[in-house]
Structure 1
Amino acid sequence: MKSLYIIGTVESGKTALCLGLALKFREEGYRVSYFKPVSIATGIAGMKDDDTELMRDVLDIKVPFEKMTLFTMGHNYLTRYEPENSEKYMADIKSAYNEISKDCDIVIIEGTTNPQAMLALGLDASTISRRLGAKMLMVSRVNDDFRMDELILNLQYMKKAEVDLLGTVFNFVPTPLLERTRNVYVPILEKTGFNIRGIVPERKELTAPTVREIYEVLGGEILEGESNLDLLVENFLVGAMTTDSALRYFRRSKNKAVITGGDRADIIHSALETSTSVLILTGNLYPDVRVLSKASEKSVPVILVPYDTYTTIEKLHGVSCKIKATDEEGKKQSKELVENYIEWKGILKELE
């Protein structure tokens, strides 16, 4: 039995890669399981980790959920967990891993959004990887040179930590950055001795959240368009400009969410004249009835929230695209991306 530890940063597409590889390996006849020892706190008490739920359903894993995800990382995790119990925590991880890996050929282990997370407890990615004997694959969504620096730092950290590193995947690369990735970023990593296991182009269906996912984070009241909550949102814009410049500003972005006050009918009308997926009205300010009528005509959902604009934007930082177990298209696309852009055969050979 072999294990593959997939780590990355925020919005790097770790789960989509885990899903795609698991489905592909299973298609090749391997028995595949999944483990996520450390999850991220959602801020909602009692809420289970979405990624673990997804993989448990898709792979039909019978192990109890509580054994698949044991610890929760948050800004104050040291209040809940005590460093002096670090060996006990690691023993719990090993015990759960042994149960999950029974009768399996490959276990895919998913990391958190920060490779150094829970280092104070000795439960960081490098330590868990070494203790479980897992090979590591680092996935990164490099959107600029600073993110490239971050990737290099993480790779060098893992190398010095003597992790069995298979290489890295550039995931969900925006089309304008594909050439830069191939001609600038890849040579830099290859020169420093790191393997490139794939360059995956951005797929909006897997990276852009839906209006529904935004509503689940913000809450509030849906004033219009409840039947159109599955629209994709590719951009977020704040409508705080003059009426004269609003239309020109909104035309620059498609499939967007526009955040503005309900009393800004001029801004709302301009947004509805362009490609808008949802209107988010702040401050509990109800819009004019003519605004709702136009939104209905354009099939654009309208969400009213009690927060001011700043607070709304802060909450939107927690929005991400999540593949559901019932999302057959999302599962299909995840596997296709692995087949077309990832050196999955090479990874599989390294695991054998």
Structure 2
Amino acid sequence: MASILISSSEKYSGKSSLCIGIGTILKDKGYSIGYMKPVGNMLVDVNGVLSDEDAEQARKVFDLKDDIKNITPILLTDNLVEDALAGVEKHLDKTILDAYGEISRDKDVVLLEGTGGIGGGAIYGLSDPQVASIVGTKILLVARYESIHAVDRILSDIELIHDPDMFAGVILNEVDEGQLEYVCELLVPFLENKGVKVLGVLPKDTTLRSVPISEIVEDLHAEVLAGSENLDVLVDHYLVGAMEVNSAIKYFRRTPNSVVITGGDRSDIQMAAIEARVKCLVLTGNLQPSAAVLGSADEAQIPVILVRGDTMSTIERMERLIGRARFRREHKLGRIVELINDNVDLKELMSLIGL
């Protein structure tokens, strides 16, 4: 039985997307797929049962029938944190190994997803390298490339893997089109000269980053005040309207396909956003905007949604939503599969997995 643990340099590197994409490709090739996220850190309630958001996505995409408690055997709850700090022995390694045994039964390959940040979970003895050691698998590292600092992170992350044979290689993700030549011609050879196998370089893709406004409404439990006929419009960036109004319009126009988050009492920023033709306005603090703002938004066909939370908590939710490839729509899954097929050395990757 083959396996791989897909880890990442930091949160939102594209680890979940790569995991889903690789699994889909292998499933299409006829392999039976098992999936685990051994340590769940993005907790969600599923019909009264605590689970992990990434694991739930994989469970639906792969149509998994395994017990949810085996798919994500460890959940990072407050109680687990307190027990770890108090030195309570929980035998978590045995819990993971037992779950892995169940998940791997009658499977050709098991994909294990890390927590987001290769060292995450170390306080419990469950960092990605520690989990890989427990189940006896290799680590594939996914690193989002936004600047040369990504190389520093990659080299530092590799230092955390105590066994060099455990490290399968790295995939560089979300590389801007203007940096692709630089990355492929300079950075990839540099890393390979350091003994780092680069299995793929994936360009940034707006299809994977984008979400419909309706999904934002659902995720933020928001009230739609205007523009309800345009909730299917896609957005792939969020901007925070906290500046002077004179600077706002230019700022908003520089980034198309954006949603603007601002306080419900900032009518000046709201009108600037509407004039700049942003895709959506998210108003925080449960403060109703003026009739003039709603009238202008309706005329411009720009959705305006109202949330109860403050601006900072809304930004945190938006960070989890925009830029993460949640595969609620078939075109996203098809796109990540296409990107992997075109830009990853699948033959080498399958060999490293053990297929």
- TM-score, normalising length from structure 2? 0.89
**Other structure's SS at 1:166 match:** strand
Name the structure 2 match of 1:70.
Answer: 73
State the Cα deviation string for residues 264-287 of structure 1 (Å, max 9, x = none). Answer: 333323212334121012333322
Indicate conservation of the 8 Å contact 1:10/1:114, yes or no. yes
Name the structure 1 match of 2:190.
Answer: 188
1:292 aligns with 2:294: yes
Name the structure 1 match of 2:26.
Answer: 25
Of 57-66 and 241-250, more deviation after overlay is shown by 241-250
Of 322-331 and 161-170, more deviation after overlay is shown by 322-331
Tell me by how many angstroms 1:76 deviates: 7.7
Name the structure 1 match of 2:59.
Answer: 56
**Other structure's SS at 2:140 match:** strand
2:98 to 75, 91, 95: 95
Q: How does 1:309-324 map to 2 (within 5 A)?
A: 309-323=311-325
Structure 1 residues 222 and 156: alpha-carbon distance in aligned structure 2, compared to 1, 3 A threshold? same
**Identity over aligned pairs, percent:** 33
Tell me by how many angstroms 1:71 deviates: 1.4
Structure 1 residues 83 and 151: alpha-carbon distance in aligned structure 2, compared to 1, 3 A threshold? farther
Tell me by how many angstroms 1:36 deviates: 0.8
Name the structure 2 match of 1:3.
Answer: 3
Of 229-238 and 329-338, more deviation after overlay is shown by 229-238
Query: What CA distance in whole angstroms lies between the structure 2 residues aligned with 1:312 and 1:60?
Result: 32
Name the structure 2 match of 1:206.
Answer: 208
Residue 4 of structure 2 aligns to which amino acid in structure 1? L
2:235 to 219, 222, 233: 233
**Other structure's SS at 1:240 match:** coil
Query: What CA distance in whole angstroms lies between the structure 1 residues aligned with 2:232 and 2:3?
Result: 35
Tell me by how many angstroms 1:260 deviates: 2.4
Query: What CA distance in whole angstroms lies between the structure 1 residues aligned with 2:190 and 2:205?
Result: 25
Tell me by how many angstroms 1:237 deviates: 2.1
Name the structure 2 match of 1:168.
Answer: 170
Residue 67 of structure 2 aligns to which amino acid in structure 1? P
Name the structure 1 match of 2:128.
Answer: 125
Name the structure 2 match of 1:85.
Answer: 89
1:221 aligns with 2:223: yes
Name the structure 2 match of 1:264.
Answer: 266
Of 75-84 and 169-178, more deviation after overlay is shown by 75-84
Of 116-125 and 136-145, more deviation after overlay is shown by 116-125
Tell me by how many angstroms 1:168 deviates: 0.1
Tell me by how many angstroms 1:217 deviates: 4.7
Tell me by how many angstroms 1:66 deviates: 1.4
Query: What CA distance in whole angstroms lies between the structure 2 residues aligned with 1:83 and 1:161?
Result: 27
2:118 to 115, 137, 151: 115
Query: What CA distance in whole angstroms lies between the structure 2 residues aligned with 1:76 and 1:185?
Result: 43
Tell me by how many angstroms 1:32 deviates: 1.4
Query: What CA distance in whole angstroms lies between the structure 1 residues aligned with 2:103 and 2:113?
Result: 13
Query: What CA distance in whole angstroms lies between the structure 2 residues aligned with 1:325 and 1:313?
Result: 21
Query: What CA distance in whole angstroms lies between the structure 2 residues aligned with 1:322 and 1:245?
Result: 29
Structure 1 residues 240 and 199: alpha-carbon distance in aligned structure 2, compared to 1, 3 A threshold? same
Indicate conservation of the 8 Å contact 2:253/2:278, yes or no. no
Indicate conservation of the 8 Å contact 1:117/1:123, yes or no. yes
**Other structure's SS at 2:160 match:** helix
**Other structure's SS at 2:200 match:** strand
Residue 38 of structure 2 aligns to which amino acid in structure 1? P
Residue 271 of structure 2 aligns to which amino acid in structure 1? H
Residue 69 of structure 2 aligns to which amino acid in structure 1? E
Structure 1 residues 161 and 226: alpha-carbon distance in aligned structure 2, compared to 1, 3 A threshold? farther
Q: CA RMSD in A?
A: 2.5
State the Cα deviation string for residues 40-82 of structure 1 (Å, max 9, x = none). Answer: 1448795532221222222222111111001123688421556
Of 44-53 and 275-284, more deviation after overlay is shown by 44-53
Residue 7 of structure 2 aligns to which amino acid in structure 1? I
Q: Which runs of 4+ in 1 moved over 4 A?
A: 43-47, 74-77, 80-84, 320-326
Name the structure 1 match of 2:343.
Answer: 341
Structure 1 residues 61 and 183: alpha-carbon distance in aligned structure 2, compared to 1, 3 A threshold? same
Mark the runs of 5 or more structure 2 residues left unpaired by the alignment. none
Name the structure 2 match of 1:304.
Answer: 306
1:12 aligns with 2:13: yes
Name the structure 1 match of 2:276.
Answer: 274
Indicate conservation of the 8 Å contact 2:285/2:308, yes or no. yes
Residue 197 of structure 1 aligns to which amino acid in structure 2? L
Query: What CA distance in whole angstroms lies between the structure 1 residues aligned with 2:229 and 2:166?
Result: 48
Of 273-282 and 44-53, more deviation after overlay is shown by 44-53
Tell me by how many angstroms 1:228 deviates: 3.4
